[in-house]
Amino acid sequence: MNRGKNIMLQGTASSVGKSLLTAALCRIFQQEGHKVVPFKSQNMALNSFITEEGLEMGRAQVFQAEAAKVKPSASMNPILLKPTGDSFAQVIIKGKVYKNMTAVEYHEFKPQLREMIGEIYEDLIVSNDIVVIEGAGSPAEINLRDKDIVNMGMAEIADSPVLLIGDIDRGGVFASLYGTIMLLTEAERKRVKGIIINKFRGDKSILEPGLKMLEDLTGVPVIGVIPYGSFNIEDEDSVTDRFKRSINAEGKITVEVIHLPHISNFTDFHVFETIPDVHIRYISNGDTVGNPDIIIIPGSKNTISDLKYIRESGLEKEILRAHQKGSLVFGICGGYQILGKKVLDPNGVESNMPEMKGLGLLDVETSFEGEKVTTQVEGEILFEDQNLLKNCVNNRIKGYEIHMGRTELGEDVKPFIEINKKLGKEVKYFDGAVNREGRVFGTYIHGIFDEISFTEKIIANIMKEKGLTPSSYQQISLEEYKDREYDKLAKLVKENIDMKKVYQIMEE
């Protein structure tokens, strides 16, 4: 049986660029005619996605699959850890919830997953030309080495060569690269075949003497120095600077997203960053909600805890004040639940609080149940008014649901969306709610704004209400936009990495 080649990207720390460089290599290999897939044995993130089969996986492997031009599959990320608190995480194996575990429990459990990871990886390597493997954090976590299944432990399972990435933008890149290599065992050091320095700014000639000394010290060649680039590509998880900056600050319409402590699927708002007229801002504890056109309460991995945070931080009063002054309010998944009158958790699914009062902006109540909903859906907008949703009725939308709660509608709201397709099969049920005034909206559908025709109608309606004229720009789908960004990323990396050496390393 023919086997493909592999290459693994590991980093000196989290957020050094492993996910983006994995995506870049996937696109480069795809452009050069190879059938390529990404793989990460274990991902820890609150950003997740539901596949066509109804299985849950990390979004990092989704955008890497998009870069490779293949359909996302849970086999690309067989283990997903979704933190629910400081020491607990929901453990998802092969796309399905296994159980909640403490960090200690999971650490002891990891060796039992090794055989399963190997089998899934084997299926990928025999059915593709190249598998690009991503590590997690750093391979030099010497306290975790004995049970590692995602860094050098995964390189051993896959018998893969490793490229080690360091982030020069943080400072101390030579020390972090050298220190990482020196903390590896002799067998692990032999797997490191190349070094990549990422996020470089300035004149490379000034860097050259340091590169030569690093190669002499480690015996590992530096095969690439990647300049700092600006790409509008999804972040893997909440270790991002996205929440610290204002995006499209000159936009005529302002969208403010409440940055919850357990925020999940903030990729739902990626599309707003592609629309020049939209200024998007993330609101954290200590920030003041302004007078935005739209306030969005996003998804949450712990709805009750985040509702408590909104109340205790003073953001509840800020949100209600802004809404009274005219801001539209939109809740997605956990945010939808927070907008209701009550959140009930009698069985302790999410917390030890059996009941908590919601913001009361929607006449709905949510109860948490044990079975998790994970599904892709399609449907049509039901509700139409002369404000936000003018000309939106029957607009097709699609996305995915990931939630434990079930929400019941009261008399003062109307259903928002009619779902008519679920995991490819015809169905008929309602999702979400809209208040009588058409100024507060809730839905369980992640990715609802990705339907550009729907989102642009909303923006146009707000601008018309304000007497503004939309800017003229070429409208393209989010898929086309992302595809263009992947090509830009691949071009930058290809121009600054020795791809001949990469192929040579894979062959050896």
Known catalytic residues?
333, 446
- Asked if 393 contacts 381 with a C-beta cutoff of 8 angstroms, the reply is yes
Pull the structure tokens for residue 49: 């996605």
Angle at 371 between CA 118 and CA 86, to 5 degrees: 70
369-372 own/partner pairs: CB under 8 Å, 24+ apart: 369/404, 369/405, 369/406, 370/404, 371/404, 372/97, 372/402, 372/403, 372/404
Residue (of 121, 130, 150, 129) closest to 44 by Cα position: 150
Angle at 332 between CA 383 and CA 449, to 5 degrees: 70
| 355/304 Cα distance (integer angstroms) | 9
Pull the structure tokens for residue 377: 């859906």
Angle at 84 between CA 78 and CA 87, to 5 degrees: 95
Pull the structure tokens for residue 505: 């390393």
| DSSP 8-state class, residue 365 | E
- Asked if 21 contacts 198 with a C-beta cutoff of 8 angstroms, the reply is yes
Q: Quick check: helix, strand or coil at residue 491?
A: helix
Whose tokens are 């086997």? That residue is 3
| 301/295 Cα distance (integer angstroms) | 19
Q: In what order do the strands lie in the sheet with 79-83?
A: 42-44, 79-83, 88-93, 96-102
Pull the structure tokens for residue 180: 């990482």
| DSSP 8-state class, residue 497 | B
> What is the separation of C-alpha 162 from the centre of its chain, rounded to a whole number of angstroms?
24
| DSSP 8-state class, residue 471 | P
